[in-house]
Amino acid sequence: MSETTLGGRFTFQGTSLAVQRIGYGAMQLAGPGVWGPPEDPDGAVAVLREAIAAGVNHIDTADFYGPHVTNRIIRQALHPYPAGLVLVTKLGGRRPADKSWQPAISPRELTAAVHDNLSNLGLDVLDIVNYRVMGTGHGPEDGSIAEQVTVLEELRRQGLIRHIGLSNVTAAQVAEAQAITEIVCVQNYYNLAQRDDDALIGDLARQGIAYVPFFPLGGFTPLQSSTLSSVAGRLGATPMQVALAWLLHRSPNILLIPGTSSLTHLRENLAASQWSLSPETLAELDGIAGESSSDHATN
């Protein structure tokens, strides 16, 4: 697959890390509920290898997926890693035996998480580490993140991290972190229906900072909209391909990390940039954010 069909390239601000705009999110490589091993371990390896063969060079992961499962699969499938592959991980969470999602934000926990990521990925240094604020839902919560970002900055100075990003944060938290260190990316909940970060995306674009939407297709509750289905039908695309294409059109600093454990869905996701959306179509899709909840509720 050519560079053009993966949405073009983006270089993380202040780094030499250049990635295709369509990458891959590893969360779905773990078992049901992002817990334990996948039902088809060989299939998980095959998805990763096909993604790389298709030109993907940006993989998003976390050692608390599984826990430890996705990083170990990535290592099994791809190590020694091809030149130019950018692995982005995140810290700030843990998965206790009850399978819940809990914060892990003390200096000791963050430092241990860096070493766990290094060990399970088989690396000496992590390309980008996002500090993930673990709220009660998928949206950010107010509060200082200075202590946690300072810990990551110290780990960067020690040579264990190259660059720092943020996940599930407010604009105020981004500014707070930027007073401590350079931030190269922000990963927040955003898609056609979830548009709270419109202003933040514009601000980051002016600074050349990447914005990476998680749950770009709705996550555990996939996007459903009569408008989205109608546009997809006219274009001969799937609704999810249109949702990804809209994100690529939305702003040049947006990088995509759709996740899947299916080779078929992987191929569909990577083909999303082949659709050029007209201004009229983009305006039609923009209106999805204002649709009633019943229009994009889950099955």
pLDDT (tens digit, 9 = 90+) per residue, 133-185? 997 777 899 999 999 999 999 999 999 999 999 999 999 999 999 999 999 99
Residue 226 lies in a domain: no
Does the residue 292 lie in any domain? no
Residue 3 — pLDDT band, cuts 50, 70, 90?
very low
Is 238 within a domain?
Answer: no
Q: How far is CA 52 from each of CA 63, 212, 258, rounded to the nearest angstrom?
A: 20, 19, 14
| Predicted confidence band of residue 10 (pLDDT cuts 50, 70, 90) | very high
Q: Domain tally for the chain? A: 1
Q: What is the pLDDT of residues 78-115, one digit of tens each?
A: 999 999 999 999 999 999 999 999 999 999 999 999 99
Active-site residue identified among 24, 65, 189, 211: 65
**234 inside domain:** no
Residue 280 lies inside a defined structural domain of this protein: no
Q: Which amino acid is at 32?
A: P
Enumerate residues 6+ apart whose C-beta is below 8 A from 134. Answer: 92, 93, 101, 102, 103, 104, 105, 168
End-to-end CA distance of the chain: 33
3-state SS of 192-222?
CCCCCCHHHHHHHHHHCCEEEEECCCCCCCC
Q: Evaluate whether residue 268 is within a structural domain.
A: no
Q: Is residue 227 part of a domain?
A: no
Does 211 qualify as catalytic in the annotation? no
pTM of the model: 0.94
Q: What confidence score (pLDDT) does residue 96 get?
A: 96
Contact 219, 202 (CB under 8 A): no
Q: What is the CATH number of the domain that holds 66?
A: 3.20.20.100
Q: Rounded to an integer, what distance in angstroms lies between the CA atom of residue 221 and that of residue 224?
A: 9
Give the residue-averaged pLDDT of 125-130: 98
Q: Give the domain range for residue 161.
A: 4-220+251-260
Q: For residue 246, is it within any domain?
A: no
- What's the number of CA atoms in the CB half-sphere (13 Å) around residue 274? 14
